[in-house]
Structure 1
Amino acid sequence: METTELLKKVRKIEIKTLGLSQNIFAGQYHSAFKGRGMAFSEVREYQYGDDVRDIDWNVTGRFHRPYVKVFEEERELTVMLLIDVSGSLDFGTLGQLKRECATEIAAILAFSAIQNNDKIGVIFFSDRIEKYIAPKKGRKHILYLIREMLTFTPNSKKTDVGVSLEYLNKVMKRRCTAFVISDFYTRKDFSQELRIANKKHDVVAIQVYDPRAKDMPDIGLMKVIDAETGHEMYVDTHDVRLRKEHKRYWMEREKRLHDTLSQSRVDSVAIATDDDYVKMLMSLFAKRNR
């Protein structure tokens, strides 16, 4: 991609997503994600009614009388975007590619974060960690992240969501809010990594999918290529049984994903490339505020 063309794309995404984050998401983002973590503030002498579990035994031993730790709501969050860059994201039949949709969603979240004085970082993943960008603040940093989202070329085309969650736990020592943005086309079970990550952090799953993956169109003979393996085959979409089987497979896969997320108590939303993702994200935020 030429520099001039890239700058135009970055600017276009900035104008669109910054406006949305300022006008629509500011309040909802703040209430949905702020103040969910507790940070250590100070110690003070034990008072009647204090929770004994908050006693700081090191300070208590030093002064020979009980002291307790005092916590306060964290005023500043660290937000991590775990972005799937595998081959299956380079697909789209209605309006835009899944990768383009994922980039806009990530940009909205990033601008919402910096408006609340939060740090924002990124983990690009396939079936391995492709790139880690440490959390920082500021518009310049956000624009750098958007440029990377638009131009990054992964070494692998396959997907392993569990790898990204495992890496998150290694690099983020303090609690953060982590958005996993993916189509979740993974053959590996990631329920254990998800469960562990959501105990330490606040994990939110955003599934991006193409509506044609859900309902196969009746358009006759069609060449199908698996973007992650390169396998090619022709299918006859006139075949009613084939379309029904495809729909059944999709529903089963979605149920497995939903079960995995709900069992780990992870908030989630599924967004099609032709959906109004503003409305879908607002719905997600509202669900967290109930």
Structure 2
Amino acid sequence: MLTTADILKKVRELEIKSKKLTTDLFTGEYHSAFKGRGMSFKEVREYAPGDDIRFIDWNVSARFGHPFSKVFEEERELTVMLLIDVSGSSLFGTVNNRKRDMATEIAAVLAFSAVNNGDKVGAILYSNKVEKYIPPRKGKQHALFLVRQLLSIQSEGKGTYLSPALKLFQNTTRQRSIAFILSDFIDANYSESLRVSANKHDVVGIKLYDKMDRFLPKVGLLKVEDAETGEQKWVDTNNDLVRHEYEREFFRITDYCNEVFKKSAASLLHIRTDEDYVKVLQHFFISRNK
């Protein structure tokens, strides 16, 4: 368990790294990738050749005796919600990072990208229930608070159940918003909740996985424990059939996740704990602008 000093140190490290990434890489991409709520009236100016005649302000034009046009601008303020899996399986990791560590770092980058663009950011931390709800607000201090909460949370639940988190998101977020879901998506009963959320909001899933989620190492007889149920069993990792079934279960979960997100018309990214998530996010932001 991290001490208060450890948490503050880690928050500072994430702040520095996120600030550099958002400044060097994500500022333009993030801004362009996520559009505002619509167009709002900005001002009236004298008509210029090429202006859309539909936007002529006839009242002002009549008053001054020559045409004036209404000028509109995009409403940029957005609400970004981070739905972050803090279940038992999020603590698994064998190379570089645990899933929770990577989720925290990605969440920090997304939070600072949002506040740097003047957007609100909030979070829902969940296991098999909602562990913590952080209402969306603006500002750097709020982003730091969010990251601090993510670093210090000790979840009560061990399992993964996304639906309650999605339902809370739907019930507390009235206007169209962006939701990033960071999870390994081991849960298998979230299709309807995701469909309802994605119908109203811009939903982006980020599926985090470890190399050993797919490949079981050959180390002989091994006692393993399910991080979410606590069930223990002995596994012969040298057995080809055992290794094949293990990998097949990984692809079953992955295929289900891909299918659910595709049917919901939501975006889904796959990031392994030893991969460069920066490149994956940047490519995603750029691809949305095409």
Which category of TM-score, normalised to the shorter sequence, fits these structures?
A: 0.7 to 0.9
Give the equivalent residue in structure 2 for 1:250.
Answer: 250
Give the equivalent residue in structure 2 for 1:93.
Answer: 94
**Structure 2 Cα separation of the partners of residues 197 and 2 of structure 1:** 37
Kept after mapping to 2: 8 A contact 1:206/1:270: yes
Kept after mapping to 1: 8 A contact 2:27/2:113: yes
**Structure 2 Cα separation of the partners of residues 228 and 211 of structure 1:** 19
Report which stretch shifted further, 279-288 or 156-165: 279-288
Give the equivalent residue in structure 2 for 1:142.
Answer: 143
- Offset from partner CA, 1:103-124 (integer Å, 9 cap, x none): 0000000011011100100111
Which is greater in Rg? 2
Query: 1:73: Cα distance to partner?
Result: 3.7
Query: 1:270: Cα distance to partner?
Result: 0.7
Note the residue ranges of structure 2 that are not aligned, 5 or more in a row.
43-52, 56-71
**Structure 2 Cα separation of the partners of residues 140 and 152 of structure 1:** 18
2:167 is aligned with 1:179: no
Question: Residue 197 of structure 2: SS of its match in structure 1?
Answer: helix
**Structure 1 Cα separation of the partners of residues 228 and 100 of structure 2:** 14
TM-score normalised to the size of structure 1? Answer: 0.86
Give the equivalent residue in structure 2 for 1:56.
Answer: none
Note the residue ranges of structure 1 that are not aligned, 5 or more in a row.
43-47, 51-70
- Offset from partner CA, 1:171-216 (integer Å, 9 cap, x none): 00111111011111114x2111111101111111011111110111
**Structure 2 Cα separation of the partners of residues 217 and 239 of structure 1:** 11
TM-score normalised to the size of structure 2? Answer: 0.86
Query: 1:49: Cα distance to partner?
Result: 8.4
AA aligned to 2:190 is: F
AA aligned to 1:84 is: D
**Structure 1 Cα separation of the partners of residues 228 and 234 of structure 2:** 17
**Structure 2 Cα separation of the partners of residues 29 and 223 of structure 1:** 45
Kept after mapping to 1: 8 A contact 2:185/2:253: no
Query: 1:289: Cα distance to partner?
Result: 2.0
Kept after mapping to 2: 8 A contact 1:268/1:284: no
Question: Residue 208 of structure 1: SS of its match in structure 2?
Answer: strand
Kept after mapping to 2: 8 A contact 1:82/1:179: yes
AA aligned to 2:258 is: H
Query: 1:41: Cα distance to partner?
Result: 6.2
Give the equivalent residue in structure 2 for 1:154.
Answer: 155
Question: Residue 186 of structure 1: SS of its match in structure 2?
Answer: coil
2:109 is aligned with 1:108: yes
2:69 is aligned with 1:83: no
**Runs of 4+ residues over 2 Å off in structure 1:** 37-42, 71-74
Kept after mapping to 1: 8 A contact 2:180/2:206: yes
Question: Residue 106 of structure 1: SS of its match in structure 2?
Answer: helix
Give the equivalent residue in structure 1 for 2:266.
Answer: 266
Question: Residue 270 of structure 1: SS of its match in structure 2?
Answer: strand
